[in-house]
């Protein structure tokens, strides 16, 4: 089935807005549609660009060597196929709960319960870790302020943003994602300049991709093992499905986001990895290394260090912001299913999201 409303018209298939209205009237309460197309595009793109790219890519390189590039290609294809399937469903039925709703509808109440609450618990744990990390990043500028104070402050601010309306969340996440995207573009651009200008050092060369043990330096076993770490990097793409219930024009914005986001993320991940592995032999990349920091380390200045810290801080806050949004919508969907207390489906009907 094509992921496009236009292609399904005239074939007996209802379009997304019609299905949404039918679903809303017959099955569950509705949410305000306050997310514009630009919000959806950046939420989808920024959702999978978290601290993993800036801080956690080292273990995958250690496992697979240069073949990590192939690993990201394979993972990207898998992620694209999954998102196409989810996209097909949410375009036809853009309701709260996303994949948990479909598990409930097609597999039964227990499947909906399990998938929804598993996702909720996961984001609670991830969210607390990101808040703690944000407090640590703030200590770079304010070393005398305890971590828990910053964590509590960000907890209050971001939860308050999410309590106002969905459009404010969309605007906040739009700018968070834009900062991350611009930072990655800057990282790739500066890395390419180092590589081709001769300022990258004696070891900087494109043949680093095969010089140290070959492209498959750790063998196929290393590549396969790295896929577990690599697939985790694509976590966050599912936000596309969760936003469908509040997208203003889901039959257009959701297919566009699904079809474009995986390519863009692959470009960012593979692009930054190619630059990193060309500048540094893969054997010199430590498990706790950040490609972001390694590429910029030659610019030894407080301004650059502060900029790096700011971008990583934004990445953490973006993950927490998305976690608050997605978890609240997941609870709403679970409540509609009867898998969570009924008061979680309460809304503010008098407040417009736009």
What is the pLDDT, as a whole number, of residue 195? 86
> In the chain, pLDDT over 90 holds for what percent of residues?
20
Tally the residues of the chain: 354
Question: Which tokens is 97 given?
Answer: 């709960």
Q: Which residue has the higher pLDDT, 312 or 293?
A: 312
Closest to 270 measured CA to CA, from 191, 179, 353: 191
pLDDT, average across residues 188-194: 87
In the predicted structure, residue 183 carries a pLDDT above the cut 90: no
pLDDT band for position 39 (50/70/90)? confident
Dihedral-angle region of residue 259 (phi above 0 means left; psi in -120 to 50 means alpha; beta otherwise): alpha
Output 58 or 287, whichever has higher pLDDT.
58
- What pLDDT does residue 18 have? 42
Q: How much is the pLDDT for 145?
A: 93
Q: What's the pLDDT score for residue 124?
A: 92
Q: CA 277, CA 293: separation in Å to the nearest integer?
A: 14
Query: Bigger pLDDT: 324 or 233?
Result: 324
Q: What is the mean pLDDT of residues 212-221?
A: 91
Give all domains of the chain, ordered by start, each with its CATH number: 31-334 (1.20.1740.10)
Provide mean pLDDT across the span 298-327.
83
Q: How many CB atoms lie within 10 A of CB 264?
A: 15
Evaluate if residue 164 carries a pLDDT over 90. Answer: no
Q: What is the mean pLDDT of residues 322-350?
A: 81
pLDDT band at 352; cut points 50, 70, 90: very low
Res. 94: pLDDT tops 90: no
- Assign 234 a pLDDT band (cuts: 50, 70, 90): confident
pLDDT above 90 for 35: no
CA angle, 247 as apex, 246 and 248 as ends, to 5°? 115
Mean pLDDT of the chain: 81
**60 closest CA partner among 231, 210, 213:** 231
What pLDDT was estimated at residue 160?
94
């Amino acid at each position: 089935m094509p992921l496009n409303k236009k292609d399904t018209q005239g074939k007996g298939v209802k379009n997304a807005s019609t299905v949404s209205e039918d679903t809303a009237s017959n099955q569950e309460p509705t949410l305000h549609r306050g997310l514009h197309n630009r919000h959806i595009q950046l939420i989808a793109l920024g959702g999978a660009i978290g601290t993993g790219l800036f801080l956690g890519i080292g273990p995958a390189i250690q496992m697979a060597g240069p073949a990590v590039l192939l690993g990201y290609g394979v993972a990207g294809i898998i992620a694209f196929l999954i998102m196409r399937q989810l996209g097909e469903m949410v375009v036809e039925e853009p309701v709260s709960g996303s994949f948990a709703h479909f598990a409930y509808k097609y597999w039964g109440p227990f499947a909906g319960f399990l998938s929804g609450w598993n996702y909720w618990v996961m984001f609670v744990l991830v969210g607390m870790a990101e808040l703690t990390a944000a407090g640590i990043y703030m200590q770079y500028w304010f070393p005398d302020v305890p971590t828990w104070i910053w964590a509590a402050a960000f907890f209050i601010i971001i939860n308050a943003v999410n309590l106002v309306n969905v459009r404010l969340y969309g605007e906040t996440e739009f700018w968070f994602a834009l900062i991350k995207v611009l930072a990655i573009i800057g990282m790739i651009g500066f890395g390419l300049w180092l590589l081709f200008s001769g300022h990258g050092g004696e070891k900087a060369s494109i043949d680093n991709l095969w010089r140290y043990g070959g492209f498959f330096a750790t063998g196929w076993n290393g590549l396969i093992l790295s896929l577990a770490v690599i697939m985790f990097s694509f976590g966050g793409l599912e936000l596309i499905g969760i936003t469908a219930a509040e997208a203003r024009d889901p039959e257009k914005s959701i297919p566009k986001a699904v079809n474009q986001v995986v390519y863009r993320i692959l470009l960012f991940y593979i692009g930054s990895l190619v630059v990193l592995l060309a500048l540094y032999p893969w054997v010199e990349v430590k498990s706790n290394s950040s490609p972001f920091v390694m590429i910029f380390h030659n610019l030894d200045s407080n301004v650059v260090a502060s900029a790096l810290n700011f971008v990583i801080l934004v990445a953490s806050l973006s993950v927490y912001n998305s976690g608050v949004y997605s978890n609240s919508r997941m609870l709403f969907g679970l409540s509609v299913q009867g898998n969570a207390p009924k008061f979680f489906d309460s809304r503010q009907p008098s407040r417009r999201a736009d």
